[in-house]
Amino acid sequence: MSVLEMKVPSPGESISEVEIAQWLVADGDYVEKDQAIAEVDSDKATLELPAEDSGIITLKAAEGEVVKVGQVVCLIDTSAARPATSTPSTSSGEKVEVKAEEKAAPIAEKTAAPSPDPVKKEASYAAGTPSISAAKIMAENGVPANKVNGTGKDGRITKHDVISAMSGGFSTEDAQGWGGTREQSREKMSMLRRKVAERLVAVKNETAMLTTFNEVDMKPIMDLRAKYKDAFAKHHEVNLGFMSFFTKAVTEALNLFPAVNGQIDGNEMIFHNYADIGIAVSSPKGLMVPVVRNAEQMSLAEIEREIKRLAIKARDGKITPDDMANGTFTITNGGVFGSMLSTPIINPPQSAILGMHNIVERPVAINGQVEIRPIMYVALSYDHRIIDGKESVGFLVKVKEMLENPERMLFGAKDPHAVLLGL
């Protein structure tokens, strides 16, 4: 009998323990080499634990148990034979011989056997989530999301879905509320959620955090996107979103205001001659902040591709601690959930974070005339210990100027068509 002891691998330098979030196999199951057998939560990410060899597994840790890095969590009997129920290989082209008993089985008996259920398509994270315009209408009219059938991509609720639901009306039962039971339920916080909570409290207690606000007229960016988005998507095979414009504007502003891109280390201040931008994304495990490395060197298309890659990893639960480590500045977009204004909390050890919000049409004065423009409020939370008010305000004003004059500020007076399409 040959038994392999599987120990918890180190997810990163600073991580000493993890939590068994979920076993993906049962005690006594036969597992294949490299098969995912468990999900483990660290204080930074959720990782899959693959089997190091094939054999019968014996679990040595329970779900929810906190285990040390290097601790044995399961045993694999590598000498165990593969169960006979395993599907025989037919790659050689030989037919699998059917037993005589199976040949003699009555036809009626076989036809009576229930057919296997069709494979259900895994639900997307977008299912039941309203678009920005749909969320606005739902909030204004008190329409609950569970009463709207989403017909958009991956089940997302569109503006048309909300209008259709409203036109059909709601029953009097819906108007009476959702009907509570007076019961309570408890759920243990994951290690990741506990760590996030600790860090957020620490930021409030250990930094001199202030927030400054401004507004951005999004019409120039929206006009530019509308003009070039189809050609951009065709040329680069990625959509042109708002995040790449904001990321590029931020990197340019960080070059002018290096303190915003710095951090405090004891009695010293560290200034970074590069911009590693953390992009906050929502995932099934909670908020993740993967980092776009050297964003200051990237084009808009490269930024969009990298953000998409990291967002998919986060939402699929495949993000790693290395993907989220050592960012110098963070951007978070609460606008995708309908937020109009907020004060984002700094992502330590960074010294500042930019908060984006939803875009709302508002009356503004343009050259002495009142016009309706798509306006976004932006917020910069910063550590006043390293960043002065002049620098924080100047940084945010610079970001505003670049976004409101994309041709001149983001493209260096070059033809946007040539820059966006890499011509």
Mean pLDDT for the stretch of residues 122-150: 76
- What's the CA gap between 419 and 9, in Å, rounded? 45
Spell out where 28-153 has E strands. Answer: 30-31, 36-41, 46-50, 55-59, 66-68, 72-77
Q: Is the distance from CB of 159 to CB of 130 less than 8 angstroms?
A: no
Q: How confident is the model at residue 306 (pLDDT cuts 50, 70, 90)?
A: very high
- What was the pLDDT predicted at 133? 73
127, 310, 298, 261: CA torsion to nearest 10: 110
Q: What type of residue sits at position 60?
A: K
Q: Per-residue pLDDT tens for 17-28? A: 888 888 989 999
Query: ∠ CA(330), CA(334), CA(337), 5° rounding?
Result: 150
| Residue 29: active-site member | no
pLDDT level of residue 102 (50, 70, 90 thresholds): very low
Q: Which of 154, 230, 322, 388 is catalytic?
A: 388
pLDDT in the model for residue 94: 43
pLDDT for 96 beyond 60: no
Neighbouring C-beta atoms of residue 297, cutoff 10 Å: 10
186-222 core/surface letters (b: 16 or more CB in 10 A; e: else): eeeebbbeeebeeeeeebeeebebebbeebbbbbbbe
| C-alpha–C-alpha distance, residues 211 and 348, integer Å | 16
Dist. CA 399–CA 409, nearest whole Å: 10
With 0-12 / 13-18 / 19 or more C-beta atoms within 10 angstroms meaning exposed / middle / buried, residue 50 is middle
Average pLDDT over residues 233-245: 91
Give pLDDT tens digits for 272-300: 999 999 998 877 777 789 999 999 999 99
Q: What is residue 170's predicted lDDT score, i.e. its pLDDT?
A: 58
- Quote the pTM value: 0.66
**pLDDT score of 46:** 73
What is residue 181's predicted lDDT score, i.e. its pLDDT? 77
Q: Where does the pLDDT of residue 85 fall: very low under 50, low under 70, confident under 90, or very high at 90 and above? A: low
Q: Among 370, 375, 372, which Cα is nearest to 360's? A: 375
The CA R_g of the chain, rounded to the nearest whole Å, is: 27
* Whether pLDDT at 376 is above 90: yes
388 an active-site residue?
yes
Cis peptide before 349 (omega within 30 of 0): yes
Ordered structural domains, the chain, with CATH:
1-80 (2.40.50.100), 132-168 (4.10.320.10), 208-420 (3.30.559.10)
pLDDT on residue 88: 41
- Looking at 27, 160, 316, 384, which residue is catalytic? 384
